[in-house]
Amino acid sequence: MNSLPVDDALLVAYIDGELDPVTRRHVDDLLEQNAAVRARLAMFRRSGDLLRTAFSEAEYMAPPERLAAQLREKVQPRVRPWRAWWALPVAAAIAGLVIGNLVLPMNLGLGESSSSRMAQILEEVQDYHAVFARETEHIVEVPASRREHIEAWLGNRVHYPFAVPDLTSRGLTFLGARLVPIGGGVVAQLMYADGGGEHVAICIAFTENKLKAPLQSVQKAGFKVIGEADGHHAFIVAGPKFNRELEPLAKGLPAILQVADASQKVRAPIR
């Protein structure tokens, strides 16, 4: 039974951007104060990622045009924005979208500008960072001592060869890394700690659709996330909003991730 100070329907509406400004600020405040609310919001986003992954396999083919036309005629008046589907229980979503072995194709992000899609990515990264940044013992999946493995593993996952940057001159110590799913792609998250123990993440996101978005940011729940997109990759910095290094770091990406010889970093995918 959900005993959180906010119900699931409100969290879904928050993800969908359907709340009025006053209610959204109320939810923002709850997210900043309540780790359980943040965790549940992240769960809804992960549910969408899992469902989206399930529908990405090549074996799911588009239905015949005649059947698709009939289905559009029946469901179009009741269709909601695409992100609302991903907050539904997986079984209900599959039941509504699968007929036999036929799945209706969904063009995620249809009609969205690169800037609006980038804003969504930044919000998703912020949600994940807000959860992981407050961890102490399990802050990363792979520790900093395995730097070469991190570069090979995550470089292959996000299709971008990179070198873990040494940011000690900026007062940041490398802790390790993790792989995070987002809508339509994955994020390589390199985690650092500043002198006060606050966490700063440098992220490389791989997206299915190409984007072209200049530097932009979101700020909530005490964190600030800044990033830009070019092609299939977005480069993002996340950390406490008072950290002055965030914007200079974001403006320096992706240059600070470059390797001397990129060909040496391209290895066979790690399974």
149 within some domain:
yes
Q: Which two tokens stand for residue 230?
A: 């070019």
pLDDT of residue 3: 58
Amino acid at 134: R
pLDDT of residue 115: 87
pLDDT of residue 163: 96
2 within some domain:
no
Cα–Cα distance measured from residue 58 to residue 245, given in angstroms and rounded to the nearest whole number: 43
> What burial class does residue 124 get, using C-beta atoms within 10 Å of its C-beta: 0-12 exposed, 13-18 middle, 19+ buried?
buried
Give, for all 271 residues of the chain, the pLDDT tens digit: 455 677 777 777 788 777 777 788 888 888 888 877 787 777 777 776 666 555 555 445 555 666 666 666 655 554 444 444 334 444 444 444 443 443 333 333 334 588 888 998 999 999 888 888 888 888 899 999 999 999 999 999 999 999 999 999 999 999 999 999 887 689 999 999 999 999 999 999 998 889 999 999 999 889 999 999 999 999 999 999 999 999 999 999 999 999 755 444 443 333 3
pLDDT of residue 191: 96
pTM exceeding 0.85: no
pLDDT of residue 65: 64
The last residue of one of the domains, among 59, 78, 103, is: 103
**132 and 81 in one domain?**
no
The last residue of one of the domains, among 103, 129, 148, is: 103
CA 234 to chain CA centroid, nearest Å: 10
135 within some domain:
yes
pLDDT of residue 66: 63
The last residue of one of the domains, among 103, 128, 158, is: 103
Q: Would you mind telling me the total number of residues written for the chain in this entry?
A: 271
The SS3 call for residue 191 is: strand
- Relative orientation angle of helices 114-132 and 35-54, to the nearest 10 degrees: 130
Q: What phi, psi does 214 have (nearest 5°)?
A: -70, 175
For the chain, what is the domain count? 2
Is cis: bond before 254, omega within 30 of 0? yes
pLDDT of residue 23: 81
Place of tokens 């606050």: 198
Q: What phi, psi does 107 have (nearest 5°)?
A: -90, 95
Cα–Cα distance measured from residue 12 to residue 79, given in angstroms and rounded to the nearest whole number: 16
pLDDT of residue 155: 95
pLDDT of residue 249: 96
245 within some domain:
yes
Cβ proximity of 152 and 265 under 8 Å: yes
204 within some domain:
yes
Q: What is the DSSP letter of 264?
A: G
3 within some domain:
no
Cβ proximity of 198 and 172 under 8 Å: no
Q: What phi, psi does 117 have (nearest 5°)?
A: -65, -40
How do beta strands 199-220 and 223-240 pair? antiparallel
**145 and 210 in one domain?**
yes
pLDDT of residue 226: 97
Q: What is the DSSP letter of 257?
A: G
